[in-house]
Amino acid sequence: MSGEAVDANARGAVTVRLLVPLSGRRMFRIAYLEERHNVLELEERLVADALAPRGVEIRRYTRKHIDRRSLPLDEDCFVMGTAPSVHGAMKQLGIPVPAPRDYPLALQPWLHRRVWRETLGAVEAWVSEGAAGSLFVKPAERLKTFTGRVLSHPGDLYFLGGGSRRQSVWCSTPVGWRSEFRAYVIGADVVALDHYAGDPDVRPCERTIAQAVRVYHDSGEAPAGYGIDFGVLDDGNTALVEANDGYALGAYGIAADRYAELLMARWAQLMATRLPVRN
């Protein structure tokens, strides 16, 4: 197996800024929020709480509505829900579904570990042959056929399931995380930093995160709204866990206004990429 290592250090002096909630952002007329089992999940409730007082009409939908293309979607509609449902709405609207960008090129200096792409078949062969060492593997495509995990011996191959061995996967050298946090970003601004794993008292360096966010923004590759996970390694370095697109993003402790603003900023950006749809 081969791949280029991308381990480096980075420090910056950029401060974390907060925005005025829902300021200067496009406000959609209708918000379609996905419900599961007749219930809105936390993320959908946050958006409803943020948008309803501002006169946005809240409409619930289910995955069946997406599959049947029965929602009257247009440029005045905002759609949120699980990734498969949002992807279906994008296709109905003629929005090209973005490819995942878990490890953007501009953010490689903050990985602090080797990360590369392989086929699942190559990984399976490497592990089956009893190669020395462990390997963290996770899907690199939108369709997640298994959960990312560390593979240490042939018995671990069971967890890869029966998906195509031609699919692309991300590989990385395993590292120890003392804590993990999600930074919520609009434009070049970090609007929230929430703990989700490990020791909540071991916080990542906010100056490092802000510098990485600025570099990503200046690269021209960053979405208008997204989440980016950083953690503290066993050696004390603040490192990138992964980046997450903002059109279907889990909420931890972020305030409702910030969360809604982030999702709408990304949705407005995606709406600008619409292509003609054949009926």
pLDDT at 183: 98
Q: Dihedral sign, CA of 257, 263, 267, 269? A: positive
pLDDT at 10: 35
CA separation for the pair 88, 252 (Å, rounded) = 25
Structure tokens at 139: 């899907």
Contact 80, 34 (CB under 8 A): yes
Identify whether 130 is part of a domain: yes
Identify whether 137 is part of a domain: yes
Query: Reading across the β-sheet that carries 57-61, which strands appear in turn?
Result: 57-61, 30-34, 77-80
* DSSP notation for the chain: -------------PPP--PPTTTT----SEEEEE-BTTB--HHHHHHHHHHGGGTPEEEEE-HHHHHHT-S---TTEEEESSHHHHHHHHHHHTPPPPPP-SS-GGGGGG--S-EEEEEHHHHHHHHHTT-SS-EEEEE-SSS--S--EEE-SGGGGGGGTT--TTSEEEEE----EEEEEEEEEETTEEEEEEEEEE-TTSPPPHHHHHHHHHHHHHHT-S-SEEEEEEEEETTS-EEEEEEEETTS---SS--HHHHHHHHHHHHHHHHTT------
- Whose tokens are 């395993």? That residue is 174
pLDDT at 276: 85
Please count the residues of the chain: 279
pLDDT at 100: 92
The rounded mean pLDDT for the chain is 89
* Ranges under pLDDT 50 in the chain: 1-21
Residues 6 or more apart whose Cβ sits within 8 Å of residue 272: none
Identify whether 125 is part of a domain: yes
CA separation for the pair 141, 127 (Å, rounded) = 21
Structure tokens at 268: 């407005």
The residue range of the domain holding 132 is: 117-172
Q: What is the pLDDT of residues 37-81, one digit of tens each?
A: 999 999 999 999 999 999 999 999 999 999 999 999 999 999 999
pLDDT at 279: 62
CA separation for the pair 111, 89 (Å, rounded) = 33
pLDDT at 129: 79
Structure tokens at 209: 């995160």
Contact 266, 247 (CB under 8 A): yes
Give this prediction's pTM: 0.88
Identify whether 166 is part of a domain: yes
- Measured in Å, how far apart are the chain's first and last C-alpha atoms? 46
When divided into structural domains, the chain yields a total of 1
pLDDT at 50: 97
pLDDT at 160: 83
Kindly report the CA angle at 246 between 145 and 187, in degrees rounded to 5? 145
pLDDT at 1: 44
Identify whether 133 is part of a domain: yes
